[in-house]
Amino acid sequence: MPTHRKSYHPYISPFDPCPPIKTKTYETPAQLYLGFQPKGLDQYQPSEALKKGTLWPALYSPYTSPYEKNKRE
């Protein structure tokens, strides 16, 4: 499974006015990787699918704030 969040280290100038955020993140959700959805993918139970917004784990992209560490599933 591809990761849903990537990170990079932006250039930090010695003259930056604020304390630098050394690592920045961006989202790369599941649909970027799937291509044309293949038949017969694994499915969630209906009750869980209703809650998650999709039938397929392959298309589920969790999101939590990157500013709150360790809360991600």
Partner 1 sequence: MWYYEKKLQYPVKVSTCNPKLAKFLIEQYGGADGELAAALRYLNQRYTIPDKVIGLLNDIGTEEFAHLEMIATMVYKLTKDATPEQLKEAGLGAHYANHDKALYYENAAGAPWTATYIQAKGDPIADLYEDIAAEEKARATYQWIINMSDDPFINDSLTFLREREIIHSQRFREAVEILKEEQGKKRIF
User: Which residues of the chain form contacts with partner 1 (CB under 8 A)?
Assistant: 2-3, 6-11, 24, 26-29, 32-33
Closest to 22 (Cα-Cα) out of 35, 7, 4, 10: 10
Nearer to partner 1, 3 or 47 (CB): 3
> Hey, what are 11's tokens?
């250039």
Tokens of 49: 């699918």
CB of 2 to partner 1, least distance (A): 7
**Beta carbon of residue 41, minimum distance to partner 1 (angstroms, whole number):** 20
Q: Quick check: helix, strand or coil at residue 7? A: strand
CB of 63 to partner 1, least distance (A): 11
